[in-house]
Amino acid sequence: MATSDPVRTEIDEWLATNWDPDLSVGEWWERLGLAGWSAPTLPTNAYGHDLSRGDAVTVHDAIAEHGALPAPGGLGLLLAAPTIAAHGTDDQVERYVRDIVTGQRAWCQLFSEPGAGSDLAGLQARAERDGEEWVVNGQKVWTSSGHVADLGMLIARTDPDAPKHRGISYFAIDMHQPGIDIRPLREMTGRALFNEVFLTDATTGADTIIGDANNGWAVANATLAFERSGLGSGGGSSARSAALPGTVAGHLERRAGDFVPDDERRASSKRTTPEAAPGEEKKEAEAPSAEQGRFGGMARLLAGLARSTGVLGDATVRQDLVRLHTLNEIGRINNLRVKAAKQAGRDLPGMGNLAKLSMSDVVRLQRDLGLRIAGPAGMLHSYDGDGADDIVEATGLRRLGTVTELALFAQAPPIYGGTDQVQRNIIGERVLGLPKEPNDDRSTPFRDLPKNA
């Protein structure tokens, strides 16, 4: 593929030499990760190439278009690796980040609690020092992929006599131990991506603290910034890996090529766009997953669905399809602005929070537009997967399940990763300099504060 983009040229040449579908998933991810292509935004001393987010999208697009298995997904790559690269020791980078970029270990995020969601600093899970270990007790909730995680990013209170935002430490904790009980939370989609986690005398070593003891709030804020940036609009639409990282899912020993769509399906995906060629009017665009649907791929899917249901000529449908495309383009262009600012030694404060807010607008528009296009068929959904084929046969709409699942799931993104209201508070206080609500939680010992206050 001829291109003037040096990043695209380099990754294309590397893929031509290194991709082999007969490798195991673990072998391929080791090759990809150690070459710095699993997480190219990481610094060069943490198994990355120190690329911008926009260049990273170029890399992931190249991997997908080459027909290779994408990098290991999950919260390890999205959150743990950049946090450890920024705040961890060299030993922790080697111990944890290497296994993340090569897919050997999967991670979850042990932040939210039943009484500490939007007010995360009000967390009450505690960790007490016992020699060279910390003993952890408490409860976490809304833990994405906790059931398939090997390690967790845990924040716990280590000094209740310190003010609320101090006295918190950030740990890496082994999820495979008797003191950790993981219970699934079933969602309205029918899936159970989230969990509640109970920690009872669970232990973690003193050398697993990321950053300094009692300074975990600063480290947690770095994780949240990576989360909001990663969840925000404009991140591209590259396919995520169908193979799962870590030891629990059991994918590492399987053949890498078995998780990649065949050439014919990839070619079909490239052909079928909102501007379909004559004779393709009834085809639907290839579907991204519900999680990927917040990006541009969902606009293509909805355009294909509108064509197949005969409503593409509706002016209001066309208007909202263009609006959806525009929101995604604004997100993409904002990423380019951030890249240019960083190259000039500047920053764009609050851009991650603005991207997160924009993503909420995108998923709500996708929900409303998708159900409008689907019409009465949008009331049909297979909550356990057993009736999915029957729904397709009854409606003739192959991608209806993606639309209905996204519509059901759309209520979650404006809440997780920091609610829309939290994002607006952050922008108001930290970017615009508006006054904070008066309180004394930054000077009063945590044990003296009213709980949930």
Are 270 and 387 in a shared domain?
yes
With respect to residue 374, please indicate whether it lies within any of the assigned structural domains: yes
Residues 276 and 403 in one domain: yes
For residue 336, the enclosing domain spans 266-418
Residue 263: Cβ-neighbour burial (10 angstroms; 0-12, 13-18, 19+): exposed
Q: What is the pTM of this model?
A: 0.79
> Are 73 and 120 in a shared domain?
no
> How far is CA 83 from each of CA 209, 337, 446, rounded to the nearest angstrom?
12, 23, 26
Q: Is residue 234 part of a domain?
A: no
In the listed set 85, 104, 123, which residue is the last one of a domain according to the structure? 104
Do 91 and 126 belong to one domain? no
For the chain, the domain total comes to: 3
User: Which CATH number does the domain housing residue 54 bear?
Assistant: 1.10.540
User: Given 47, 77, 104, which residue is the final one in a domain?
Assistant: 104
Last residue of a domain, one of 77, 104, 131: 104
- Please tell me whether residues 91 and 134 are part of one structural domain: no
pLDDT tens string for the chain (453 positions)? 456 789 999 999 999 999 999 999 999 999 999 999 999 999 999 999 999 888 898 999 999 999 999 999 899 999 999 999 999 999 999 999 999 999 999 999 999 999 888 789 999 999 999 999 999 999 999 999 999 999 999 999 999 999 999 999 999 999 999 999 999 998 888 888 889 999 999 999 999 999 999 999 999 999 998 887 776 655 543 446 789 999 999 999 999 999 997 643 443 343 333 333 323 333 333 333 333 333 457 899 999 999 999 999 999 999 999 999 999 999 889 888 888 888 888 888 988 889 889 999 999 999 999 999 999 999 999 988 788 899 999 999 999 999 999 999 999 889 887 889 989 999 999 899 999 888 777 778 888 887 754
Does residue 242 form part of some domain? Answer: no
Q: What is the CATH number of the domain that holds 161?
A: 2.40.110.10
Residue 370, CA distances (Å) to 59, 190, 251, 396 in order: 30, 19, 33, 16
The answer to whether residues 296 and 408 belong to one domain is: yes
Question: Does 20 reside within a domain?
Answer: yes
